[in-house]
Amino acid sequence: MRDLFKRIVAAGPGGAALAVHRDGELVVDEWAGDWSRDDVVNVFSVGKGVVAALAHRHLTGLDRPVREWWPEFSTDCTVADLLSHRAGLPAVRRDLPDGALFDWTAMTEALAAEHPWWPPGERHGYHAVTFGWLVGEVLRRATGRTVRELVRDLGIDGLSVGLAANTPVRDVLPPESHGPLPRLSATELTVKAFANPAEQLTPGLPNTARWRAAEIPAANVHAHARALATLYGELLTSPKLAEMIEPRSEGHDEVLGSETRFGLGFMLANPTRPFSPNPRAFGHSGSGGALAFADPDEGFAFAFTPSRTLLTPAGPDPRWPALIEALYR
């Protein structure tokens, strides 16, 4: 598996890290290409799994209304709805001003006042960026600590929301297309989910100091692979594991227009991103190819963090299948 990983990384620019955690032990910890052992990189939506882990660690009664923690929240939904992308709040309708992306209060207030795009709990749709603010604000009100502080409290080296000063970091390389890009339905909902605030579309944004200093938990978690594998290895022993991975959302995704599956905060293996042959595997992929997941039946956790980003249509990142086949073999 190590040799295979190094060949895959050598096939393109940049670098990557790979880690596997099994039975309480880190059994693979590799890096290759333009990379050093302690380098971290922006892992984009892989961060949603980190936020979900915090929710299960700090919150109880996930089927209780969000308003019990957040009285100003206008949508009648539960924390479980937020975690399973069923709240109907993947986007804000009004155009948000410049700077909103980096303003926690502006985003949480806008989401608290927003009218849901569908009746909460009835359907699901990927909350691409709003997930972090929604779940993160509940966590902040329940614990008195920010998501950034709660991640730091985990004590896992090489895992952070945004980036601490002097952390060795690899730039995210400009995305390359791999196959025809998916044609997302040009609905107002989809456009708003990915382009409001419009700053989300800024070229090179992940490599800017402003992005790295921000707290955008659904999209700007930075990590190296062994930190993510360690986190998921610990989740495999959680007494809440069955609750975490119980399917809550399956089928047509209102935002992506494809078939997705989610438990309580974790992506489950699904047709859009088939990261494991086991339907009980749980984790999250990230834009451009980052991946972290655990398989409760096999007892291992896997993480892959590349600096070279590939834009792929529905299906696995082309670097995953051979690695995952080797993992299960």
For the chain, give every domain's residue range. 2-328
| CATH number for region 2-328 | 3.40.710.10
Residue 214 pLDDT greater than 50, yes or no = yes
3-state secondary structure of 91: coil
What pLDDT digit, counting tens, does each position of 233-281 carry? 999 999 999 999 999 999 999 999 999 999 999 999 998 999 999 999 9
Question: In this predicted structure, what is the pLDDT of residue 179?
Answer: 55
Question: In this predicted structure, what is the pLDDT of residue 252?
Answer: 96
313 pLDDT band (50/70/90 cuts)?
confident
% of the chain at pLDDT higher than 70? 97
d(CA 22, CA 5): 18
d(CA 288, CA 173): 10
Question: In this predicted structure, what is the pLDDT of residue 104?
Answer: 98
Identify whether the C-beta of residue 32 lies closer than 8 Å to the C-beta of residue 170.
no
Residue 186 pLDDT greater than 80, yes or no = no
166 pLDDT band (50/70/90 cuts)?
confident
* Residue for token pair 């949603």: 48
d(CA 15, CA 31): 7
Question: In this predicted structure, what is the pLDDT of residue 18?
Answer: 98
Q: What are phi and psi of 250, to 5 degrees?
A: -145, 140
Kindly state the average pLDDT of the residues 43-61.
98
Kindly state the average pLDDT of the residues 113-132.
98
Question: In this predicted structure, what is the pLDDT of residue 176?
Answer: 81
Cβ-based neighbour number of residue 37 at 10 Å: 12
Residue 135 pLDDT greater than 90, yes or no = yes
Identify whether the C-beta of residue 29 lies closer than 8 Å to the C-beta of residue 19.
yes
Question: In this predicted structure, what is the pLDDT of residue 27?
Answer: 97
Residue 182 pLDDT greater than 60, yes or no = no
181 pLDDT band (50/70/90 cuts)?
very low
314 pLDDT band (50/70/90 cuts)?
confident
- β-strand 300-306 against 41-42: which pairing, if any? unpaired
Exposure string of 42-70, with b = 16+ CB inside 10 Å and e = fewer, is bbbbbbbbbbbbbbbbebeebeeebeebb
Question: In this predicted structure, what is the pLDDT of residue 311?
Answer: 87
Question: In this predicted structure, what is the pLDDT of residue 75?
Answer: 98
**Amino acid in the structure at residue 63:** D
Residue 36 pLDDT greater than 90, yes or no = yes
**Amino acid in the structure at residue 299:** G
Nearest to 84 by CA among 50, 52, 44, 45: 52
Cβ-based neighbour number of residue 117 at 10 Å: 21
**Least confident residue range of 132-141, 169-178, 216-225, 264-273:** 169-178
Question: In this predicted structure, what is the pLDDT of residue 178?
Answer: 57
Question: In this predicted structure, what is the pLDDT of residue 183?
Answer: 52
* Greater model confidence, 313 or 166: 166
List C-alpha distances in Å: 14 to 5, 33, 166, 226, 321. 13, 6, 21, 18, 20
Question: In this predicted structure, what is the pLDDT of residue 177?
Answer: 63
